[in-house]
Every structure is written in C-alpha cells, then in structure tokens.
Structure 1
Amino acid sequence: MTDAIRVLYVEDHDSDARIIQYLLEGCVEENFSVEWVDTLAKAIAAIHDHPLDLIIADLGLPDGQGLSNVQRLHEAAPTTTIVVLTADDDGADAIESIRYGAQEYLSKQSLRRETLIRTIRHSLVRQERLMTAQAQAMTDALTGIGNRRAFEREMDRRLHDFRRSNVHFCLAIFDVDFFKKVNDAWGHDVGDNTLRVVGRTLVNELRATDLSSRLGGEEFAAILAGCRLEDACRVSNRIRGTISEQCRLQVKPEFSLTLSGGVAEVQVGDDLETLYNRADEALYSAKENGRNRCMVHDGKGIVPLESLTAADHRTPILHS
C-alpha cells in the first residue's frame, strides 16, 4: 500500500467539507489522509505542526477572503501543492489564484470525484516539477550548494524577518587563499575537487536553518540564522579550520590550503548591499593582514576575531 497523500482541507461550511471528505476518502485509486479545518488561522497552524502534500482551500473563510487566502497559505507552505475550491466559476479568479501560488482552481458547482482526483494528480506532478526546476535554478552546478541567486533570496528573507520581528542573523564570507596556485600547480580537476570539498564541508558544519552558498569563483558565504556576532565569529573560525583539514584529507595530503573570512551582523537600516559590504570589507582586511584568518566588522570598524570579546574590542583597526 502506498503512503497516504496528506491533505489539509480548509472550508468553513460543514456540508461542503463532508462532500470533499467523502470524495477523497472513497477514492480507490489513491490513499488520502484528510484533515479538515474551518479557518485560515487554523490552517496556518496545521501547516506549522506537520508536513503536508496538498492544501485544498476555499476562497471564502471567516478570517480571510479571496486571493489573499491563497497568498497567505503559499507564504506559510511555499513548497506544498495548493488547489483552490470556490462556489463561483470565475475564470479571472482561476488565473489569479495560480499567480498567487495555487496549482489549480475548481468550482464546487461542477465538482465530481474523477474531476477532483485528476486535478489533484496533475497538480502534485506540476508542483514537483516546479520545485525541481526552482532547486536547480538555486544550485551551484559544481559544488551542489546554493548559488548567488539562492544567497540573495535567503538574504531578502532574513532581512524581512529582521525588520518585522527583530530576528538577528550574521553573514560570513569565505575566500580560498591563493586559489590560483592550486590550479596552476595541480590542474583544474584538483581545483574543482577542492571547491567541492569546501562546499560540502561548509554544509556539514552549518545547521539546517543556515544557508551555505557559492557566490562565484572561490568565494563562499554562510548566512547564520538567529546568530549574534560573537557566536558567528566562533562558528566561522571553526569552519575555516575544518575546511582546511578536510581539503588535506579529501584532496591531497600535502595540501596546506587556507581560507580567509569576513563576518558581520545585521543592523537596523541594512539592506543586502550594506550588510554584504561590511562582511566583504572584513574579508578584504583578513587578506591584507596575512590571510588564513577571520576578521569582523562590528558596525563601527574592522577588528580581528580574537579581540572581539576583549574589553577594547570596539576600537577598530581599520575604519570603513
């Protein structure tokens, strides 16, 4: 027996809810597990409580009306398939609901089991293909981690959360020291393998809530969610050392590969460019001060990582 398709049905009319449950649970071709809630708030709570394969939602709810319901459900569950049901048969709403994140639109007036099941099947397949295409568009082809597009998208999301809810995060940028010498001495195959090890180790050293990405060439970034500057500095220095060790173990034992890093914490008024520039300035300072180290931009200037917690750590060694 195949795993059940986990369905959340959002509907405030008891009679309509019973009909949909009857149509789905009586299907012999598919196995559905249906949860019914009658408000948008309950639906969003259910989304946060457990994973879902499909959301079937009415456009008219006590606490939400129209296409805004689709938008809010899509924001809460961006990877979950959404099918809209409504009492109206409005083609304009059908198109708009898809633009807001739904895969399909069905009118209750002409609903039959075979129509509903076919729509669900097609919607699930389209959503899977969409998620695959989006993942590929956000993935660096060489290393398999996030690319610059994924980095920019996550930065926008984290900045939004910081502005709305004061959820702090830090940005760390890493650059492989003298990477050109790796290619010159060992060839581009070894150079590519080195970048793969850097990317793989970066992922392994981060939490599931963080994002690792390759920004281009030998430059990598880590977005550290819910992290303050001192913790981000310790994490970044550990990552730098672990990557050097793994390159020796996985690429060539004689490797003495090192990385430089720059770290900055989000501040009020930041956008992607200002936060990135502070971390990049710290990285540049690490390069200028001997490489194989992390430097920190504390918002006033750049300090070495080891002096961040010192009593005079607010005295910058290089002003931005």
Structure 2
Amino acid sequence: MSDLIRLLLVEDDDSAARMMASHLDGCSEFSVSLDRVSTLGDAIAATHDHSYDLVIVDLELPDCSGLANVTRLKEAAPSATIIVLTTECDEEGTLEAIRLGAQERICRRDLQSPQVLSVIRHSLARQQHLLTAQSQAMTDALTGIGNRRAFERELERRFNEHHRHGVPFSLTIFDIDHFKKINDRWGHDIGDKILRIVGENLYGEVRATDMVARIGGGIFGVIFVATHLAEALQVSHRVRGKIRETCGARIQDELQLTLSGGIAEVAAGDDIRSILNRADEALYVAKQSGRNCCMAHDGLNVSGQVAVPCLS
C-alpha cells in the first residue's frame, strides 16, 4: 500500500465530513490527501481531473441517491477503492453495494469508532489484491501489454464514455506482415522476440491515455482516446514507419519487419463488433495494397488518406 493515499470524500453533511477527517488526521499508518465534494456530479468531475486511490461516498446525496452512486463512481474511477457511507446498517444493501464494486460499508453510527481506519485499511488491501489479479488476467504473458480481454473491456469503457458524454475514439488493428513466414524461417524464439519488441514500441509510441494490446498471434490493437479518424491514421502511419526503420535490425540484420494497419472511428449506432469489422476491412485493404501501410475506414470508403474534420 502506498504511504500517501489520495482520497475523495463525497459527503454533503458537514458533521460527518468532520468526523471522517478527524480519523484521517489521527492516522499514523499512512498519510492522506483529502478532497471533499458534496454531489455525485462534482465527484465524477473530480475523478476526471485526479486519480484517486479511495472514494468514500454517501449513498444519500442531493443529486443522486442509492446504489446508483456506486455504479456511476465505479464507471468514472474503475481502479479506486470505493467505500459507501450509509444511514442504516443493512446487510442486504451492503452485499449489493459490494456486488456493484464497493469494498465495504461504514454506518453513520460508527463514524466515531476507531474501527473506521481498520475498514479503510482492509478495503485498500483487498482492492490492491483485486487489481493485481485483474491485471494478471488481462495481461499478455509474452509481451507484458494487455490481452484481447483487456482490449475488449477498454472498448466497452470507451463506448460507455462515448454514449454518455459524446467523447470520440478511434482504434487501429495492426498485423505483422508475413508473421507466419518469419516464424517458419527464423523460428519461434525469433517470432516471440518480434512480438515483444513490437508490443514495446507500440506502447512507447502512443499516449499514456491510449491503450495497446496483443489480441492474437501477430495482431495488435490500439485504442486512441478522444481521437478522430484522421489523427489516428496519422499516428498509425508514424508508428508503422518507426517500427519498420528500427525494429528489424534489433532482431536479425536481414529481417525486414513491417506492419499493416486498419483504422476506424466510433460512429452512431456502433457496437464492438461493427467498429472492429470496419477496422478489419481497412486492414484487409492494406494487406491487398502491398502491406507495410495503414488504411482507414470512414464508414463508406477505405483510404490511406482522410481529411481532417472542420471544427468551426
């Protein structure tokens, strides 16, 4: 557990907030950076600006009440430890909150008890174990980046953000050209090294907010957050070019390592299958066009160039 815990307290009652702050001030096990807001809307906005380790949320807020507070905060801050603050010590309600993603419950009548810190400590530890297990389950063992399961989960998250807030995203499916022939000629040890180096370079070339995964064989996926088709195509061209220039020589002097890519942007009515189908169609055209290139599907046509949309 980190020595510094960043905590968001979502509580509109000043007395309850003061009692919670008093417990935290007296804690000797870890230090806490505390932010407090009074509404769920302000809490969600705060999670967009900061990364919180812990969120303690009252289930009765001015703008939202009940377990919807847990659901929406879990969507906004999926890795944060969530503890709910309740008026009634209802076991059934507690179990439902945990099912929805909370780690524990604190009753208002227990706010003066020193056990509050124990609840916080144990909740943080359980969440850390959970995150570690989830990370292992969604990590490609060979490359250390996300696997297909992680890629699809991130796509679901981006679709939720797009549907709720209109945030665009694009994705690229990259395929290592002639990967089977490379394995046949150079052996699977070289093939594995290629996969690791491609994964490493893709991860290093995109933003921290973007997501890179190996989704099968020599196929990689990149999700570009808040990115339109033209920009995703431009970045994909750059990444492809850099891998061609630098990666082959790191493996074998004679090896020519190239990628082909297919790009698509989320559109109205899309689901995971439809956006992946467009990216796959664009990738097919890239392969048929000689490989070592990227193509984008704009919903109607596939092309290696896409006009930048006018934002005025």
TM-score (norm 2): 0.90
Query: Match of 1:8, SS?
Result: strand
Q: Distance in 2 between matches of 1:254 and 1:277?
A: 34
Q: State the partner residue of 1:5.
A: 5
Cα 1:157–1:110 shift into 2, 3 Å: closer
Q: How many Å apart are 1:86 and its aligned residue?
A: 1.7
**Superposed CA offset, 1:144-203 (max 9, x none):** 111111211222222333334333222211111111222122211111000111111111
Q: How many Å apart are 1:298 and its aligned residue?
A: 2.6
On the 8 A contact 1:247/1:255 being kept in 2, the answer is: no
Q: How many Å apart are 1:65 and its aligned residue?
A: 1.4
Q: How many Å apart are 1:244 and its aligned residue?
A: 1.9
Cα 1:91–1:155 shift into 2, 3 Å: same
Structure 1 range deviating more: 187-196 or 56-65: 56-65
Cα 1:135–1:281 shift into 2, 3 Å: same
Residue pairs, 1:119-158, within 5 angstroms: 119-158=119-158
Q: Distance in 2 between matches of 1:30 and 1:161?
A: 33
Structure 1 range deviating more: 164-173 or 235-244: 164-173
Q: How many Å apart are 1:111 and its aligned residue?
A: 4.3
Aligned residues: 307
Sequence identity (%): 54
Cα 1:252–1:96 shift into 2, 3 Å: same
Question: Is residue 74 of structure 1 aligned with residue 106 of structure 2?
Answer: no
Q: How many Å apart are 1:299 and its aligned residue?
A: 1.9
Gaps of 5+ in 1: 310-320
Q: Distance in 1 between matches of 2:29 and 2:293?
A: 60
Cα 1:96–1:290 shift into 2, 3 Å: same
The amino acid of 2:280's aligned partner reads D
Question: Is residue 294 of structure 1 aligned with residue 291 of structure 2?
Answer: no
Query: Match of 1:238, SS?
Result: helix
Query: Match of 1:64, SS?
Result: coil
Q: Distance in 2 between matches of 1:28 and 1:227?
A: 44
The amino acid of 1:96's aligned partner reads E
Q: State the partner residue of 1:312.
A: none
Greater gyration radius: 1
Q: State the partner residue of 1:59.
A: 59
Gaps of 5+ in 2: 308-312
Structure 1 range deviating more: 36-45 or 92-101: 36-45
Query: Match of 1:214, SS?
Result: strand
Residue pairs, 1:203-214, within 5 angstroms: 203-214=203-214
Cα 1:162–1:120 shift into 2, 3 Å: closer
Q: Distance in 1 between matches of 2:31 and 2:306?
A: 57
The amino acid of 1:48's aligned partner reads H
Cα 1:56–1:300 shift into 2, 3 Å: closer
The amino acid of 2:124's aligned partner reads L
On the 8 A contact 2:171/2:279 being kept in 1, the answer is: yes
TM-score (norm 1): 0.88
